[in-house]
Amino acid sequence: MKFITWNINSIRARTEHLKALLSEKSPDVLCLQETKVRDEEFPVEIFEKAGYYVAFSGQKAYNGVAIASKFPFKGLKKDLFDTNGQKRTIEVAIENVTVINAYFPRGGERGSEKFFYKLEFFQKMKDYISKNHSVDELLLLCGDFNVARFENDVWDPELLRNEPGFMKEERDALERLIGIGLSDIFAELNPAAKHPFTWWDYRGGAFKRNHGMRIDYILSSHTLSEYAKECTAEREWRAKEKPSDHIPLVANFELSMI
């Protein structure tokens, strides 16, 4: 099973990139974040033409998540827990695999309302999974977590120590979530990768300077991570014309769905 997660930063602004990703990479499952489109305007036809089923939960201008799959969904849930009306979570079952796709809040400076909203979101996700699932199931939690895990996951740990995305409180929240029995597939399979970033700010020539962060993850339950063979961050997608500020993260599992 080939699995991709990508913060597309507007599905309508990235239509051509999306089509190219589907045809070139041909993932079995694709999770998207920041689709930024209402459900009634979601471009279902792109997926149908490419041979995918698709489920989505969006809103006007901000947030929005979607999951596309070559296999039909056996279950579908939106808004897994209270997020003040923001469309940030969606879950499907594909055969015997549960896929949770989430767009975690970016947060804000320490002590701000957004900072606490972000920390609460991590706690709620952890509680939701503990209550509704088990890490003994085949479970994938993926998306844009807006937190870098290790020092090697940011371009300048000292400079960013008190910035959103690398504060101790945020990293602790991510670690607690992973600690329920999930495995950070990219880190597990690429222990020697130097600065394996998944996001670069549009501002200040950040990509050219390689001022990035690893904030997108594919987390799998221990039962599923046994099958993980390969995980790659597709950096060239940030160098394209009109790119998203995030790149696709690809994971291959030696597991056939049918």
Partner DNA sequence: ATGGTGGAACGTCCA
Q: Where would I find the H helices in the chain?
A: 15-25, 44-49, 113-132, 157-160, 168-178, 185-189, 222-225
3-class DSSP string for 120-182: HHHHHHHHHHHHHCCCCCEEEEEEECCCCCCHHHECCHHHHCCCCCCCHHHHHHHHHHHCCCE
The verdict on 19 binding DNA (CB under 7 A) reads no
The verdict on 9 binding DNA (CB under 7 A) reads yes
Under rule CB under 7 A, how many of the chain's residues touch DNA? Answer: 18
Is 153 assigned a catalytic role? Answer: no
Residue in 144, 153, 184, 216 annotated catalytic: 144
Please, which of residues 204-223 interact with DNA by CB under 7 A? 204
Residue in 28, 103, 153, 217 annotated catalytic: 103
Candidates 104-112, 125-133, 174-182, 183-191; binding stretch for DNA (CB under 7 A): 104-112
Pick the closer one to DNA by CB: 108 or 181.
108
Is 103 assigned a catalytic role? Answer: yes
The verdict on 232 binding DNA (CB under 7 A) reads no
Candidates 9-17, 22-30, 134-142, 170-178; binding stretch for DNA (CB under 7 A): 9-17
Please, which of residues 166-205 interact with DNA by CB under 7 A? 201-204
How is residue 160 written in tokens? 């960013």
Neighbours of 257 (CB within 10 A): 14
Pick the closer one to DNA by CB: 62 or 150.
62
Among 19, 106, 133, 171, binds DNA (CB under 7 A): 106
Pick the closer one to DNA by CB: 105 or 212.
105
What separation, in Å, do the N-terminal and C-terminal C-alpha atoms of the chain show? Answer: 10
Neighbours of 154 (CB within 10 A): 23
The verdict on 60 binding DNA (CB under 7 A) reads yes
Q: In Å, how far from its chain's centre is CA 119?
A: 17
Helix 113-132 and helix 168-178: axis angle, to 10°? 10
Pick the closer one to DNA by CB: 20 or 61.
61
- Residue 164 beta carbon to DNA: minimum distance, rounded to whole angstroms: 9
Q: Indicate the burial class of 193 (C-beta count within 10 angstroms; 0-12, 13-18, 19 or more).
A: middle
- For residues 228 and 160, the answer to whether their CB atoms sit within 8 Å is no
Pick the closer one to DNA by CB: 4 or 37.
37
Q: What are the Cα distances from residue 64, in Å, to 144, 145, 168, 203?
A: 12, 14, 27, 23
- Residue 254 beta carbon to DNA: minimum distance, rounded to whole angstroms: 34
**Lookup result for tokens 């937190």:** 147
> What is the contact surface with DNA in residues (CB under 7 A)?
9-10, 12-13, 36, 60-62, 105-106, 108, 114, 146, 201-204, 242
Active site residues: 103, 144
